[in-house]
Structure 1
């Protein structure tokens, strides 16, 4: 049930003491409420501040953020980090912007290749909030880590303006997230999360920017309205990403631990990927891709997670489509539907395809390039997910 306090007062309301770890008290457990896969960006800029806008899923207390230097070639120091609620643009709701600490310190240095979680902030974060994380680094240099296709406007400026509510200094809009790759909350005991592991369709390309109309966003809204224990949704899609080979981001096999299995409270991995492997004309066979799926399933099961497999959608009309790739897609989809190796299956191919040409996307759901769904298609995908399948027992 949502608090009736004014929204500005809800986030980070001061409390007398910090909750003990869930393991010691049997109390709330940490659950990822937002995430975005990091990749190598351009070089960092010393003295730059970022005001990063992210849309959360599950609400809770004890907000923590994870900073990433996963692709850096040297340590990076953050000497100021804040979290607050968006009012509009880069402007924050007064009274919500609170300083983050790391091991009790205001400054943190993240080694090359590493990530670091902040300490939990006191107070509560409402469900489906536009959380704003503001970061300043005095020494950023070398490759930055971040997520380039955010489908969300964030902001940058030179100098440390992280503590300010005003949006006026933030004169550099950006469509990327820098150095931030996850947010978690302490949710009621038993609450879990699902991680969507995928490519540009999951990342939201061809959905409307700044309106949170990626299919995982629609899924998160469905979950908040139901009685399921799975409430958190983490979007770990990367545009151009593959299951088997690095390129646009590390392959799913190579980023599975950092982007998926390390996230707190994950109950289920939702695997929807393969079209980039198929259409790349690199000789990838159905057997190759199936072996990759099996490895993801095995590793997720070993970590105690369920895996939902989704069929690869139609893409006839896309410039890389050909009959050979279509044959691989059909063979892969037959495996996903009938192998029994997934804990559940969502048939996105059936939802998206035209009844008149099943190799082609239904025009009403097509974002225009014949491979990426539009907003309506994104919603149709989310509506096709069996919510009960997201809360399964991987040992059963």
Structure 2
């Protein structure tokens, strides 16, 4: 077989060769138009504390790209560790099926040319760029081994994606035979970037809670609303093509709990991600339903602080209204009154670069305090797949690429 550059496709070649052996549209997706190249985040998941690390554990993690490009880099994290963490046997390749990697695409990840890295407590580290490239909308397999992990592990608990674990050092293997157990979390990895050019040179980071994280969407089918948005942006006339999902289930704007508060994780999860041009802020319902005396003024002050810091970093800020949740056990009229006050403020505010009215999209016309039954995932708070798609469809791609 011959690749699109006229050279034979060799299984042992770099990722780009594996891409070139595919159909022409997939190959074109990996090669953005000529122009200025820049690093841009193509996948992300917010880090949190995950319980105790396991020595000698192997992880084969499945993540999906939003924008294609060359020079794949992976960010490894020990953000919540209390001691140094050593990782070795790190590889990245294209997924075949299950835990198997497409033959010839599994490439070793290095750090300054070395095959292992030790992360101090609280630290993150980017790998060296891999040769070749990867298309948008592709499952990337990141494999790693923890030779002596102990203490608190770092990762993302609710991945809505099946990944794999195994004992021993099997990360270099294409086969999935030794990856006999599954995990619904991502471990020690919180971002992937590519080198993109021209029309694919920017990203949006969705800062949110369980709705952004994808709860009640279908596992393994990439139907979170940021996934639908990534598919829309891939064909839109916008320079913002990358999507970083920075949602954490149960997260709040103001207070730590389920993950650090949005105010406290903004720098690590959003502002340090390469190529992010816009912060899309969709949080607040957990602050309201926690019954901790949160007021509209207090929540708005949190929004303003996020916008101030993002603007100071040169980012645009798009904010979404808070969706309905009547029927959820923690709903009450007092929380609803605060939600309505917050949304009235957001709809009339000029402090953000754009406002997307997710409340209007999700609410029932017969009872605006409730989620539309057609979009209800079953708990009266989280949208189902159709609701997730409706949220993505409500986002104006042009609003994600404001001049700042």
Q: TM-score range by the shorter chain?
A: over 0.9
C-alpha distance in 1, partners of 2:363/2:257?
Answer: 28
Q: How does 1:170-181 map to 2 (within 5 A)?
A: 170-181=179-190
Output one character per residue of 1:317-358: Cα deviation in whole Å (capped at 9) or x when no partner.
000000000000001111111111110010000000000000
Aligned residue for 1:233? 243
Q: How does 1:92-111 map to 2 (within 5 A)?
A: 92-111=101-120
Question: 3-state SS of the aligned residue for 2:242?
Answer: strand
* Structure 2 runs not aligned, ≥5 long: 19-34
Query: Is 1:372 aligned to 2:382, yes or no?
Result: yes
TM-score (norm 2): 0.92
1:219 to 229, 235, 240: 229
Question: 3-state SS of the aligned residue for 2:95?
Answer: strand
1:13 positional shift: 3.9
Query: Is 1:278 aligned to 2:283, yes or no?
Result: no
2:279 to 264, 269, 273: 269
C-alpha distance in 2, partners of 1:308/1:7?
Answer: 45
Q: How does 1:70-149 map to 2 (within 5 A)?
A: 70-149=79-158
Output one character per residue of 1:17-54: Cα deviation in whole Å (capped at 9) or x when no partner.
xxxxxxxxx84100000000000001010010100000
C-alpha distance in 2, partners of 1:10/1:291?
Answer: 49
* Structure 1 runs not aligned, ≥5 long: 15-25
Question: 3-state SS of the aligned residue for 1:51?
Answer: strand
Aligned residue for 2:23? none
Q: Name the Cα RMSD after superposition.
A: 1.5
Q: Retained in 2: the 8 A contact 1:49–1:156?
A: yes
Question: 3-state SS of the aligned residue for 1:121?
Answer: coil
Q: How does 1:142-161 map to 2 (within 5 A)?
A: 142-161=151-170
Aligned residue for 1:34? 43
Question: 3-state SS of the aligned residue for 1:122?
Answer: coil
Q: Retained in 2: the 8 A contact 1:69–1:145?
A: yes
Question: 3-state SS of the aligned residue for 2:71?
Answer: strand
Q: How does 1:202-351 map to 2 (within 5 A)?
A: 202-351=212-361
Structure 1 segments, 4+ long, off by >2 Å, are: 3-14
Question: 3-state SS of the aligned residue for 2:143?
Answer: strand
Aligned residue for 1:54? 63
C-alpha distance in 2, partners of 1:30/1:104?
Answer: 19
C-alpha distance in 1, partners of 2:146/2:324?
Answer: 44
TM-score (norm 1): 0.94
C-alpha distance in 2, partners of 1:180/1:279?
Answer: 31
Query: Is 1:385 aligned to 2:395, yes or no?
Result: yes
1:12 positional shift: 4.1
Q: Retained in 1: the 8 A contact 2:10–2:104?
A: no
C-alpha distance in 2, partners of 1:117/1:133?
Answer: 13
C-alpha distance in 2, partners of 1:225/1:4?
Answer: 22
Question: 3-state SS of the aligned residue for 1:209?
Answer: coil
- The count of aligned residue pairs is 381
Q: Retained in 1: the 8 A contact 2:41–2:275?
A: yes
Question: 3-state SS of the aligned residue for 1:336?
Answer: helix
1:225 positional shift: 1.1
1:137 positional shift: 1.4
1:189 positional shift: 3.9
2:210 to 200, 207, 226: 200
C-alpha distance in 2, partners of 1:366/1:143?
Answer: 36
C-alpha distance in 2, partners of 1:97/1:294?
Answer: 44
1:4 positional shift: 5.1
Q: Retained in 1: the 8 A contact 2:92–2:107?
A: yes
Output one character per residue of 1:352-388: Cα deviation in whole Å (capped at 9) or x when no partner.
0000000000000000000000000000000000110
Query: Is 1:11 aligned to 2:15, yes or no?
Result: yes
Q: Retained in 2: the 8 A contact 1:10–1:126?
A: no
Output one character per residue of 1:95-121: Cα deviation in whole Å (capped at 9) or x when no partner.
100000001111110110000000000
